[in-house]
Amino acid sequence: MTEFCVRCSAPAGIVMSFAYVDRAVWLDDLVEPVVPGSAYAMCEKHAGRLTPPVGWTLVDRRTAARPLFASLEVA
C-alpha cells in the first residue's frame, strides 16, 4: 500500500512523529507502513518546510541520500 502525504495527498517518503513531553519533532525515512495516530506520512516538499512549535526541537534523522524507489512494504 502506498503512503500519501497528510497535507497534499502526494506520495510520501518521510514520516513525522513527535513527543509532547520531550517537545521534539522527528523526521525519518519512510521504511514501513505508518500506524495511524502514532506518526504522519509526508512528502518531501512538506517535510522540508516543516517548522516545529516555538520551544520545540526538530530532529532530522533522514539519510542524506534518498533511495530512488520505496521498499515493497511501503509501495
What's the confidence (pLDDT) of residue 66? 59
Q: Where are the domains of the chain?
A: 14-60
Q: Which residue has the cell 520505496?
A: 70
- Nearest in space to 25 (alpha carbons), one of 10, 46, 9: 46
* Whole-structure pTM value: 0.79
What's the confidence (pLDDT) of residue 63? 86
Extract the residue ranges of the chain whose pLDDT is less than 50. Answer: 75
Instruction: Give a three-class secondary structure readout of 25-69.
Output: EEEEECCCCCCECCEEEECHHHHHCCCCCCCCEEEECCCCCCCCC
What's the confidence (pLDDT) of residue 1? 62
